[in-house]
Amino acid sequence: MFEESLVARAASLLELCRSRKLRLATVESCTGGLVSALLTEVPGSSDVVDRGFVTYSNAAKTELVDVPVELIAAHGAVSEPVARAMAAGALARSEADIAVAVTGVAGPGGGTAAKPVGMVCFGVVRRGGQAAAITERFGDIGRTTIRIQAVDTALRLLREAAARR
């Protein structure tokens, strides 16, 4: 399903988390659970992966991970404030130590001038810390490629958070 190099990076992340006794949670919109799928592709991942939320709709973002309706109305679902809130909500609703969130426009439609196809916002938070967010603009490179690039970025953010002391 995933390229071997991506699975190997996921296995490396899981080993890092295992060595530091860290658990992970994901909350995903445009990737539809692909980050969780990648992590759980690795045998034995259940001692690190706590849970994954697929919050494709705005209602799911609110109901499952407590993203305020007003925040979505003010900034849109594809925004750094919403990505931060998604990550914080996943952490609050889990036993995890680190959570990553992904929300974006995978296309082929749905993009606007302000939020074009290929724009993906990420949130990441480690228990006891402040949620951070970044935005990547992958470009209109095809839905599957955008989603895989988003998974790759989420994996990098999880590794960076796990590596911090």
Q: Which residue has the tokens 């499952």?
A: 64
In this prediction the pTM is 0.98
What is the per-residue pLDDT across 50-106, written as a single tens digit (0 to 9) for each?
999 999 999 999 999 999 999 999 999 999 999 999 999 999 999 999 999 999 999
- Angstrom distance (rounded) from CA 23 to CA 9: 16
As a whole number of angstroms, the distance between CA 96 and CA 82 comes to 19
- Cis peptide leading into 108, omega within 30 of 0? yes
Q: Is the C-alpha dihedral spanning 68, 69, 72, 74 positive or negative?
A: negative
Q: Return the domain boundaries, the chain.
A: 4-163
Question: In a 3-state reduction of DSSP, which class is residue 63?
Answer: helix
Does domain 4-163 bear CATH number 3.30.360.10? no
Average pLDDT for 128-156? 98
Mean per-residue pLDDT of the chain: 98
pLDDT tier for residue 128 given thresholds of 50, 70 and 90: very high
Judged against a pLDDT cut of 90, whether residue 1 lies above it is answered with no
